[in-house]
Chains A and B, each alone.
Chain A
Amino acid sequence: MKACKKINALIGAYIYGDLTLEEMKRVRLHAAECKKCAGEIAAQSRAVSLIPNEPPKLTDEERMQIAWTVKGAVKAKQQAGFRLSFVRVMTGTLVTAVLIGAAFVGGITYQKHYGPAKIKLVKQVIVKEVPAKPSENRPEQPLVTSVPYSMMDPFQRSQQPIYRWMPGGRTAQPESDTESSPAITWPWEQESGSTAPPLILTPTPSDTNTKPEQPTPSTNGNSGQTQ
């Protein structure tokens, strides 16, 4: 049976005469012994002989038709290829342009929101000083000097307004004599007894002792006139 299987695998080529001489010999020897295989070979060759092996021939018209159709299709393909490449290039350019535009707009927006502040040139505005209206309820505030109170001379001190809320808690006006009595008695106080300094300082006896004698303005004027 194994031999039959082997021979069966060769029958196709045997019918067409394509086997080598050795194979042919083997098939023929086997067919002479095995009737089943001989019948198979006969049946297969008869079946194959039923099938016409002459395909129809092309007419001249059909040959022309094929040639023209192929040429037309090839030309159309070439044109389509050109068109396609053109469309591709155009699409690519468009997409690139859109991308660049989007990046530009995005960059500007980013700069606007997260970038460094932009210095704007604004129209120059001249600010005029408008005198403040003296309000009725509040008295005008005096200038506050940078000199501390302790460093002021008495005149300056006397000019300073004194408020209750100031550090030191001084009262507005020295009302009692004991509080206002100063530790130092100034020369003009010794003479006149007034706390305010005199507008014109008169020389004290101690001054006349140290300095050369100075004539009084009245005597000076007189002497000048006489001379």
Chain B
Amino acid sequence: MKKQTSVEEKRNLQTAEDELLISRFKAGEDEAFDRLMALHMDQVFGLAWSVLHDREAALDAAQEVFIKLYSAMPKFGDASNLSAWLYRVCLNHCIDVKRRKRGVEYEMTDEEWSQLQGAQTDDPSTAAQSAELRNAIYKAVDSLPPRQQMAFVLRHYQYMSLKEIAETMGCSVGAVKAHLARATANLKARLAGYIGAAEEVLQNESL
């Protein structure tokens, strides 16, 4: 409970800072936009990556989102939630990109994967296994329907609460719960063959 309140406080603080920066930008300070960009860059990039699973594409997407933000800044009211707006625009943009790129499958390099896992494996057989597993995971996440993927990505990678997800997606909390349930069920079905193998890999890595 204590942790949750601290997260909420942090979010509230961030929202307050966003509002201040937006008003400063509207007053004609271009530096305020730089500060906003620096504050939200990691979130936007992380979200883009979690949908696209491609570092370069995620960088491009983040750039696109901030360019859109610049032109949308004058329209922002004081009450509008900048984070929610950024997440929504980023998700829509990434899903668009994916739709355009359909058929071109990206496979992460081993280096990226090991960075992600934070563990190095010297055994070639385990490396091959883990490579197969991660491709299966990304395929499974990519193949989710857009709404389910949105809900899953926002919860799994961005640690957002159901209420925040609902706000970002523009639907009710109940709908978010349903999307999330369907997403996890789909993921389980797609990764069923890997659950045992993955545990072995993880055990090998931990040993």
Chain A residues close to B by CB (< 8 Å): 8-13, 15-16, 18, 40, 43-44, 46-48, 50-58, 62-63, 65-67, 69-71, 73-74, 77
Which of A43, A56, A66 is within 8 Å of B49, CB to CB? Answer: A56
In the complex, are the beta carbons of A11 and B37 less than 8 A apart?
no
**Chain B contacts of A16 at CB under 8 A?**
155-156, 180
Which of A40, A43, A56, A58 is within 8 Å of B41, CB to CB? Answer: A58
**Chain A contacts of B199 at CB under 8 A?**
46
Tell me the complex Cα distance, A152–B66, Å: 117
Main secondary structure of the interface of B (DSSP, over half): helix
In the complex, are the beta carbons of A12 and B195 less than 8 A apart?
no
Output the nearest chain B residue to A46 by Cβ-Cβ distance: B195
**Chain A contacts of B127 at CB under 8 A?**
none
In the complex, are the beta carbons of A44 and B141 less than 8 A apart?
no
Which of B34, B62, B137 is within 8 Å of A50, CB to CB? Answer: B137
Which of B55, B180, B187, B198 is within 8 Å of A13, CB to CB? Answer: B180
Q: Is B93 an interface residue (CB 8 A)?
A: no
In the complex, are the beta carbons of A53 and B192 less than 8 A apart?
no
Q: Is B42 an interface residue (CB 8 A)?
A: yes
In the complex, are the beta carbons of A47 and B41 less than 8 A apart?
no
In the complex, are the beta carbons of B181 and A13 less than 8 A apart?
yes
Interface residues in B34-54 (C-beta closer than 8 Å to A)? 34, 37-38, 41-42, 45-47, 49-50
Tell me the complex Cα distance, A9–B191, Å: 19
**Chain B contacts of A58 at CB under 8 A?**
41-42, 45
Tell me the complex Cα distance, A51–B180, Å: 15
Output the nearest chain A residue to B179 by Cβ-Cβ distance: A12
Q: Is B206 an interface residue (CB 8 A)?
A: no
**Chain B contacts of A52 at CB under 8 A?**
116-117, 137
In the complex, are the beta carbons of B67 and A77 less than 8 A apart?
yes
In the complex, are the beta carbons of B59 and A65 less than 8 A apart?
yes
Chain B residues close to A by CB (< 8 Å): 34, 37-38, 41-42, 45-47, 49-50, 55, 59, 62-63, 66-67, 70-71, 112, 115-117, 133, 137, 141, 155-157, 161-162, 176-185, 187-188, 191-192, 194-195, 198-199
In the complex, are the beta carbons of A12 and B157 less than 8 A apart?
no
Tell me the complex Cα distance, A46–B185, Å: 11
In the complex, are the beta carbons of A51 and B141 less than 8 A apart?
yes
Minimum CB–CB distance from A156 to chain B (whole Å) comes to 109
Main secondary structure of the interface of A (DSSP, over half): helix
Minimum CB–CB distance from B126 to chain A (whole Å) comes to 15
Residue of B176, B187, B188 with most partner-chain A CB within 10 A? B188
In the complex, are the beta carbons of A74 and B191 less than 8 A apart?
no
In the complex, are the beta carbons of B116 and A50 less than 8 A apart?
no
Tell me the complex Cα distance, A58–B46, Å: 8
In the complex, are the beta carbons of A12 and B180 less than 8 A apart?
yes
Q: List 10 A-B contacts (CB under 8 A).
A: A8-B185, A12-B182, A13-B181, A15-B184, A18-B177, A48-B184, A48-B188, A63-B38, A66-B62, A71-B34
**Chain A contacts of B67 at CB under 8 A?**
70, 73-74, 77
Asked whether A44 and B185 contact (CB < 8 A) given A50-B198, A66-B41, the answer is: yes
In the complex, are the beta carbons of B177 and A48 less than 8 A apart?
no
Asked whether A43 and B155 contact (CB < 8 A) given A12-B182, A13-B162, A48-B184, the answer is: no
In the complex, are the beta carbons of B177 and A12 less than 8 A apart?
yes
In the complex, are the beta carbons of A12 and B116 less than 8 A apart?
no
Minimum CB–CB distance from A221 to chain B (whole Å) comes to 132
